[in-house]
Structure 1
């Protein structure tokens, strides 16, 4: 199993939107590295859902429910892909970017080095650490 973090501006599409739908297509990604990460996602992989913008915090846990397929928004047929994710659970206490920056165990989290990337891998230990501290 792999672990991931996806980012979204909550005013455009937030955790509450995913929770209302329960499952949705994660599409519209137009970065080659993020696309490659989408292609690596496997059924059942765990996903941290991060709100970018003003709040900058991890707010929930989702799961990959369908592996990479052609992005339905790829009107120019350029090979972009999407996955489906489903909401698993909200974090009791959102885990903020400031908390991430202050935590030595999270110093290698890609979010800190590639802050503009909307899909990125997370190590299992880091995933577990974030979930534990958000209880």
Structure 2
């Protein structure tokens, strides 16, 4: 199993939206590096859900990859993510379907900065715009321990 971090702005799609929906396709990613990370994801992998572009950004929960697939938005001419050169036989953009696993109290960006270096956690790098990035197992286990300690404190 691998670990990942998936970033979304709550006004676009929040963790509460996922909790309500139970599953979602992580569509519309149009960055080649993020796409390559999506291609590496496997069913069963876990991902931390990160809220960005808000007053208090940070990790808010955990999701699990339940399917890998071609991003359906690339085939929809009415989508802003339409890719006319993509075909079902040769898609340019891959994605995953994820399911809600658990919510945990906010682990703020500031807390993450205190606990991890920018080499350990890509999301902390200045100017990082990736919506999907890997998290090494050692760091993932530390994040899960932080989440569990926050749950115990509440």
Answer 1 or 2: which has greater strand percent: 1
Aligned to 1:99: 111
1:111 is the counterpart of 2:123: yes
TM-score (norm 1): 0.92
- Do the aligned residues in 2 keep the contact of 1:58 with 1:94 (CA within 8 Å)? yes
Q: Distance in 2 between matches of 1:106 and 1:15?
A: 24
> Which protein has the larger Cα radius of gyration, Structure 1 or Structure 2?
2
How many residue pairs match? The answer is 133
TM-score (norm 2): 0.81
CA offsets, 1:27-47, max 9 Å, x none?
100000000000000000000
- Do the aligned residues in 2 keep the contact of 1:100 with 1:106 (CA within 8 Å)? no
Q: Distance in 2 between matches of 1:122 and 1:131?
A: 12
1:134 is the counterpart of 2:147: yes
1:85 is the counterpart of 2:98: yes
Q: Distance in 1 between matches of 2:71 and 2:65?
A: 15
Structure 1 residues not aligned, in runs of 5+: none
The structure-2 alpha-carbon separation of the partners of 1:94 and 1:51, relative to structure 1 and needing over 3 Å to count, comes to: same
Offset at residue 73 of structure 1 (A)? 0.7
What SS class does the counterpart of residue 39 from structure 2 fall into? helix
